[in-house]
Structure 1
């Protein structure tokens, strides 16, 4: 068993004030877990972070544990308070590397029953990426292997694309929504990927924390209803608005050139788009149930947001 029967595990979320992390905090609180957020205290002019922390406080279910991952003793003290650690750190190399410090604290504390690292997105083992995303996927794979080598109880979670970023842009990382008349379609536009809402990914994350069926496995979040190609996304939008869009197909060479001359983080976002929409991503759902499980099969009670529903909310 992962936790004492009848007792919900205490959860520490690292990166809980980030774009995705705040959804995980909310899902943990909604599921009635004792929820802790390990974060740097907000500076005087950081009004957004203050508002996020205040919104957590209003729910009267969490405590902020102020500290830095660079202060190992503070991190170790926080780790010792909980049963489950969830990392929602960003995907840049600096933040991914910080997870090695978390692993060290978990090993020393000896009380953590499950670690969920900052995987999410596409499975590093099922994608053929280009730089700079290639370095990110290599680092995620290295962290994954370290966790296994150290025998740290874990769940790796992969959901392909987040609806909230890519659908409003119709796959165009360089465009700020809303989009009206024209759209750039990467490749031939026929490669399908899964789009899962940020809120739903967070819900599934919290579902796993005391579920023995997901312990030491990969959880794929791949609702079949949410498999869409770019051509299908554009067609859906045209159907909803009743207006045809002018389409420009972006070749492999054009996108690679754009990646090479774009600043960070746009070059990273474009390389993610290239990796999926041109090279394709195929989650290995034929893996043995001892290695991988699928979220919508395990948790049919979750009323996830479909691509069409999310598209409706944008119009």
Structure 2
């Protein structure tokens, strides 16, 4: 494929989603010729149309295509060197099925030098023993990985860990809201289990730094910057320092936390089961990484956002 110098042409699928839009801006910021898949079925969604027009104004190329028409996907893939998927996963598994279709198209095209599937959270291959119903999401994402490998498509897998927008906003809690509570916080267990909290824009930047890096080819990398490996209790202490007073604290055991699943929608049950692994078992920080696996070590030029810097926006 034709390239601008040594910088790959990048196609982002799912570019109007929560992570997708950040991947688009990161790609543009880092100077990649950036292409965004424009789903023809979204022409009546004004928010998505306006976002796409903002991308276009900033220099992105919009490529109309539909997952219902593989030939339109193939034409879009033929325009680029690298494909990044940010399609949303959900309990209906639509996102997983779309990624499997995308893999078929990339294999048919035969020239893509890197595919980054839609993950960006916990490493699915480390979550084989995850609790239901959240375990199905990890099984599906691992299925996508195996399909990529079996197709012989060059890849990079990126684990971004806890999205700050969803996790830091509630100081680790789910349900009460996406801004820090002013008076009361519920700690998972003793609140001392380490997690990893990352600004989504930082995750996107590391993804785009990796696309042309031979060190990340056919490997998994983890966004685990040292300053952001913190327990829920440490995050709460940072917030208390910023607001100048302590929060009233209560604690919930793993057993009682699991009981809160009863009667909840499936999406909420998935979040509850994930939190067991995050905040009671420490699945994000309980294993060692080499410098070639950790994004902030691979790319020390990226100034990542610390937890304290992120929380200042709420003060």
1:205 to 201, 207, 211: 207
Regions of 4+ moved over 3 Å:
2-5, 41-44, 282-289
TM-score (norm 1): 0.92
**Is the 1:155–1:217 Cα contact (8 Å) retained in structure 2?**
yes
Going from structure 1 to structure 2, the CA distance change for 1:259 and 1:165 (only over 3 Å counts) comes to same
Post-superposition CA distance 1:14-65 (Å, at most 9, x none): 1000011000000101111111111324343x22212211211220x21111
Q: 1:184 is matched with which residue?
A: 186
Comparing 84-93 and 20-29, the one that deviates more? 84-93
**Is the 1:76–1:105 Cα contact (8 Å) retained in structure 2?**
yes
Deviation at 1:257, TM superposition (A): 1.8
Comparing 153-162 and 248-257, the one that deviates more? 248-257
Going from structure 1 to structure 2, the CA distance change for 1:198 and 1:120 (only over 3 Å counts) comes to same
**How far apart in 2 are the matches of 1:236 and 1:7?**
42
Post-superposition CA distance 1:245-275 (Å, at most 9, x none): 1112122122212224211422222222222
Going from structure 1 to structure 2, the CA distance change for 1:247 and 1:162 (only over 3 Å counts) comes to same
TM-score (norm 2): 0.92
How many residues align? The count is 310
Q: 2:65 is matched with which residue?
A: 67
RMSD (CA atoms): 2.0
Q: 2:272 is matched with which residue?
A: 270
Q: 1:78 is matched with which residue?
A: 76
Q: 1:247 is matched with which residue?
A: 249
Post-superposition CA distance 1:167-202 (Å, at most 9, x none): 010111212133111111122211111111100000
Query: Are 1:119 and 2:150 matched, yes or no?
Result: no
**How far apart in 1 are the matches of 2:2 and 2:257?**
48
**How far apart in 2 are the matches of 1:247 and 1:288?**
36
For residue 250 of structure 2, give the secondary structure of its aligned residue in structure 1: strand
Stretches of structure 1 that go unaligned for 5 or more consecutive residues are none
**How far apart in 2 are the matches of 1:117 and 1:170?**
28
Comparing 107-116 and 265-274, the one that deviates more? 265-274
Q: 2:139 is matched with which residue?
A: 138
Comparing 248-257 and 9-18, the one that deviates more? 248-257
**How far apart in 2 are the matches of 1:279 and 1:188?**
12
**Is the 1:174–1:270 Cα contact (8 Å) retained in structure 2?**
no
Stretches of structure 2 that go unaligned for 5 or more consecutive residues are none
For residue 259 of structure 1, give the secondary structure of its aligned residue in structure 2: coil
Q: 1:160 is matched with which residue?
A: 161
Q: 2:98 is matched with which residue?
A: 98
Post-superposition CA distance 1:255-300 (Å, at most 9, x none): 21222421142222222222211122145864678xx621111110
Deviation at 1:3, TM superposition (A): 9.0
For residue 193 of structure 1, give the secondary structure of its aligned residue in structure 2: strand
